[in-house]
Amino acid sequence: MAIENERFEELMMETIDRTDKTLSVLNSDYITIRAGRANPHILDKVLVDYYGTPTPINQVGNLSVTEGRCLVIAPWDASMLKVIEKQLLVENLGITPANDGKVIRLVFPALTEERRKDLVKQIKKMAEDSKVAVRNVRRDSMDELKKMKNAKELSEDQHAICEKEIDKIISEAVNKIDKLCQDKEKDILSV
């Protein structure tokens, strides 16, 4: 049953938007976690000084994965090799860069069982933090609904319907968070 109320429609759109942003942040955080395989996304947040401008590594050269566990960075400008190597050491990714004068290689070591378990704990904590954020969205939306009901913009029946709609959105977002967490956990634990 659709409610013909402009403020409610805006509230629904805002609720959906905020839960989508939470899922997007969680997904991008999960991408940067390394699972024993070479992953170019681990360098997404690494910026190098490219002629005075902080620039992402993927914009100063080619990134490619070789042999599954080796990430090769081939800068377009050979003078950037030392700058990139220095920044990778500063970032403390847990991987020592190997510079051969033409490219930089990052060899990802196989994860130990203990490290895999630590990563699983980390991703579960990230998922729980995302669920808290989604619940905060629910709380804010419900507070706004209550204000609308108290201002007589919604009847009791409409208020109940609106609450169910918001609960449905939040429930779907929590399920998506659980699915992302399970997929990443499976990825990390697969040897």
CA distance 142 to 39: 40
Q: In what order do the strands lie in the sheet with 104-107?
A: 61-66, 70-75, 104-107, 97-99
Domains and CATH numbers, the chain: 6-32+112-189 (1.10.132.20), 40-107 (3.30.1360.40)
pLDDT at 1 over 70: no
CA distance 57 to 42: 11
Task: Decide which of 94 and 129 is more confident.
Answer: 129
User: Residue 3 has what pLDDT?
Assistant: 59
User: Residue 125 has what pLDDT?
Assistant: 93
Cβ atoms of 46 and 57 closer than 8 Å:
yes
pLDDT digits (tens, 9 = 90+) for 115-155: 888 888 989 999 999 999 999 999 999 999 898 888 888 88
CA distance 38 to 31: 12
Handedness of CA 60, 29, 116, 86 (dihedral sign): positive
pLDDT digits (tens, 9 = 90+) for 146-182: 988 888 888 888 888 889 999 999 999 999 999 999 9
